[in-house]
Structure 1
Amino acid sequence: MPVAAALCGVRVRYGPLEALHGVDLAFPAAAVTVLLGRNGSGRTSALHALAGVVPLSGGRVCWRGRDVTGLSVHRRVRLGLALVPAERGVFGSLTVAENLGLGGAGRAEVPAEVLEAFPELSALLPRRAGTLSGGQRQLVAVGRALGARPDLLLLDEPERGLAPAVAARLHAVLLAGAAGGRTVVLAVQSLPRSLAGAAAVHVLHRGEVVFSGEPGEALPGRFTPTP
């Protein structure tokens, strides 16, 4: 399976603390990759390194066979990357419709495919995003990213605050997008059964990769799938 993006010997530091210790990770093209691990494992730092949110203290980031380590977040976004952070992923002063329209690649209207995937957003369109619950804000952030139709979609705990049925539907949307050619990387604490169709799972622990394989192989007994 061809590789769309990779972290090669990546190190990330926050002051005196090193969050990633020379991590090597490969993300297959047109597939879903799961970064699995507990809080503090380095999952978020790996996503942020891919997106250019944090500077590297070592190593490099490659995307489509090109070294993009020196590219800013904005340049990576223009190349087709979208990041959904675990928190603060919406503009609270804007309405839901305005937030979703920002992802429309120059289109002011709300992308129809977003409302088809998440019809519960339809009733929220006129509301200010800052008045929504945490789960609703997360769904708006995911919807805006999907509306941008990115080639590389990065999501940090996108299920946070979502009902299990909605989270499972989100996973189905991500898997369908990968089947259509999109490369997806998401970070989660535990592996749900609705992500059993992912191509690869990487388990991180204290800034290092301790396992790489398929979902069914992800360290049985320590990282067991949840319902």
Structure 2
Amino acid sequence: MPVEAALRAARVRYGPLEALHGVDLAFPSAAVTVLLGRNGAGRTSVLHALAGVVPLSGGRAVWRGRDVGGLSVHQRVRRGLALVPAERGVFASLTVAENLGLGGPGQQDALELFPELTTLLHRRAGNLSGGQQQLVAVGRAVAARPSLLLLDEPERGLAPAVAARLHARLLADAAAGRTVVLTAQSLPRTLSGAAVVHVLHRGEVVFSGEPGETTGLPTEIGRHDPTDVP
């Protein structure tokens, strides 16, 4: 399976604390990869290392066969990367329409995915609920039509039916050629079509495989969330 991006012996430090301990991770092209683990496992650090939000203290970040460690966040965005953070993913002083417009030419893509935003277009994003802000953040990334889409717990604050709709869209986008990497604390049933699952624990990779292989993992990681939509 062709690889779109990868981390090679990657280390990330926040002051005296090391969040990633020399991890090796590969993210296949035109597929959905899910990063599982508890809070503090290193999932967010993986996304931030790929996006250039945090520098590597060791190892390499590779995208399309090139070491991109020397590229800034903006340079990576211009090359087709989009990151949706777990929090503060909107420009609070801008309207919903203005936020979506920053994504690029695909604003209608965002509204088709999240029709709930149609009646909110003229409201300031900072005045929305947490779940509504999440729709705006994910919608803006979708509107950008990136080749590499990184999402940190995108289901946070979303109703189960909306999360399931998002997962279906991500799987369809991957089938059409987009590479998607997202984090979750447990594997949603609606993402059983993902190509690869990586499980992180305390900054190390403890499992890599297909979604169906996660059933043998410890109960605190990797299992399907029983509250997920069937």
TM-score (norm 1): 0.96
Distance 1:16 1:75 in 2: 28
Deviation, 1:212, is 0.2
1:188 aligns with 2:187: no
Match of 2:8 in 1: 8
Q: Deviations over 1:109-131 (max 9, x none)?
A: x7212111111110111110001
Match of 2:175 in 1: 179
Match of 1:64 in 2: 64
Distance 1:82 1:103 in 2: 9
Conserved? CA contact 1:31–1:199, under 8 Å: yes
1:122 to 118, 125, 139: 118
1:51 aligns with 2:42: no
- SS of equivalent residue, structure 1 residue 93: coil
- After the TM superposition, which residues 1-227 of structure 1 pair with which residues of structure 2 at under 5 Å, given as runs? 1-104=1-104, 107=105, 111-220=107-216, 221-222=218-219, 223-226=222-225, 227=228
Deviation, 1:70, is 1.1
- SS of equivalent residue, structure 1 residue 75: helix
Distance 2:185 2:164 in 1: 15
Aligned length: 223
Conserved? CA contact 1:211–1:219, under 8 Å: no
Q: Deviations over 1:153-172 (max 9, x none)?
A: 00000000000000010001
- SS of equivalent residue, structure 1 residue 143: helix
Return 5+ residue gaps in structure 2 as ranges. Answer: none
Distance 2:54 2:201 in 1: 19
Conserved? CA contact 1:199–1:215, under 8 Å: yes
- SS of equivalent residue, structure 1 residue 218: helix
Distance 2:215 2:198 in 1: 10
Distance 2:108 2:124 in 1: 20
Q: Which amino acid aligns with 2:193?
A: G
Deviation, 1:224, is 1.2
Q: Which amino acid aligns with 1:225?
A: H
Distance 2:109 2:67 in 1: 32
Q: Which amino acid aligns with 1:213?
A: G
Deviation, 1:81, is 0.2
Distance 2:108 2:73 in 1: 27
- SS of equivalent residue, structure 1 residue 171: helix
Q: Deviations over 1:90-121 (max 9, x none)?
A: 001000000000001xx4xx721211111111
Return 5+ residue gaps in structure 1 as ranges. Answer: none
Distance 1:20 1:145 in 2: 26
Q: Deviations over 1:56-101 (max 9, x none)?
A: 1000011011111111100000000000000000001000000000
TM-score (norm 2): 0.95
